[in-house]
Amino acid sequence: NAGVTQTPKFQVLKTGQSMTLLCAQDMNHEYMSWYRQDPGMGLRLIHYSVGAGITDQGEVPNGYNVSRSTTEDFPLRLLSAAPSQTSVYFCASSYVGPGELFFGEGSRLTVL
């Protein structure tokens, strides 16, 4: 019973490097989303998707790209990492509408 799986759990990058955070869910959820969590800032929505081929921006989308080619996967791409992107990233999924939101364990990213 995997639920929402995020990889990697930890990553250290240098400024300017690119990387992809992976998120997969096995619950056939239409809705998937990425949040970042920073001390004192709470959870902020980066991007979300309500189905394959459909993505939209959240509160803090700059510096991040997403795509949704399948129902199961929703990768988050950092094109050119900056120290301001040091954070803990959470992926979440649910059914659209009144669905319960389920979270992954998080990916801790440090940009030097």
Partner 1 sequence: KQEVTQIPAALSVPEGENLVLNCSFTDSAIYNLQWFRQDPGKGLTSLLLIQSSQREQTSGRLNASLDKSSGRSTLYIAASQPGDSATYLCAVRLHNNNDMRFGAGTRLTVKP
What residues have CB less than 8 Å from 63, skipping those under 6 apart? 78, 79, 80, 82, 84, 85
Q: Which is nearer to partner 1, 17 or 45 (CB)?
A: 45
Minimum Å gap between C-beta 63 and partner 1 is: 19
- Binding footprint of partner 1 on the chain (CB under 8 A): 31, 33, 35, 40-45, 48, 50, 56, 58, 90, 92, 96-106
Minimum Å gap between C-beta 92 and partner 1 is: 7
> Which residue reads 């400024």 in tokens?
15
Q: How many CB atoms lie within 10 A of CB 25?
A: 23
CA–CA dist 84, 65 (Å, integer): 16
Minimum Å gap between C-beta 53 and partner 1 is: 16
Minimum Å gap between C-beta 80 and partner 1 is: 26
CA–CA dist 19, 48 (Å, integer): 18
Cis peptide before 8 (omega within 30 of 0): yes
Q: Which is nearer to partner 1, 16 or 99 (CB)?
A: 99
Q: Which is nearer to partner 1, 17 or 102 (CB)?
A: 102
